Amino acid sequence: MALNPRSALFGPGKSLADRLATGHAETVLAMAADELATCRWALYRVRRCYTAPATAWRSLDVIARGMSRDRAHDLLAALGHRLDLTPEVDRDHRRLWLAAPTLDVPRVEELFTIAPEAAATKQRKRFQAQWQLHATPELLDLGDKAVSVLPNTHPSPRTLTQVIPPATRRLAGRCPRLPEETSMFE
């Protein structure tokens, strides 16, 4: 998953795509590739604060949505350029790490990534207090800068989410199709 590289469907290093490729399920893989090529994509901000092993406070912010995969890639690359950071590419996933994972506890992680427009903004209660307690002032500043340099956005991630009307969404669990190219960045 783009949001958490340590969380493959069948355990570490055992993704569904790996199993389908091993099983020679080319038709299924082609259908999935077509779905990903034609659905709407979003830019997400993911923050985690680990206060003990396997005990995470999590926050997911939808920063921008309703774009093609290519436009989402371009937006993530432009954000990396503005922050003088290079997105990490892991298979088909791109992540721009502001604070990469370590084995230390307590620790924080922060990244921006792109994925199909399926997740909603959510945050564990009292996350912000934990984040402020554990994140360094430099990371807090970098996170604020990241959000502030995005086109048509401002520093409050909660107000950045662009709402897509229910009539334009496909069934739950499916990726919304991308209509004609949107003009959200023009």
pTM over 0.75: no
- Asked if 85 and 98 count as a contact pair (C-beta separation under 8 A), the reply is yes
- The answer to whether 128 and 122 are in contact (CB under 8 A) is no
Q: What is the mean pLDDT of residues 160-169?
A: 35
Residue ranges of domains in the chain? 10-39, 40-149
Nearest of 153, 173, 164 to residue 112 by alpha carbon: 153
- Say which residue the tokens 């893989």 belong to: 29
Q: Which residue, 45, 43, 42, is CA-closest to 175?
A: 42
Q: Between the ranges 13-17, 74-78, 169-173, where is the mean pLDDT highest?
A: 74-78
pLDDT single digits (tens) 62-121: 999 999 999 999 999 999 999 999 999 987 789 999 999 999 999 999 999 999 998 999
pLDDT in tens, 114-145: 999 989 999 999 999 999 999 999 999 999 99
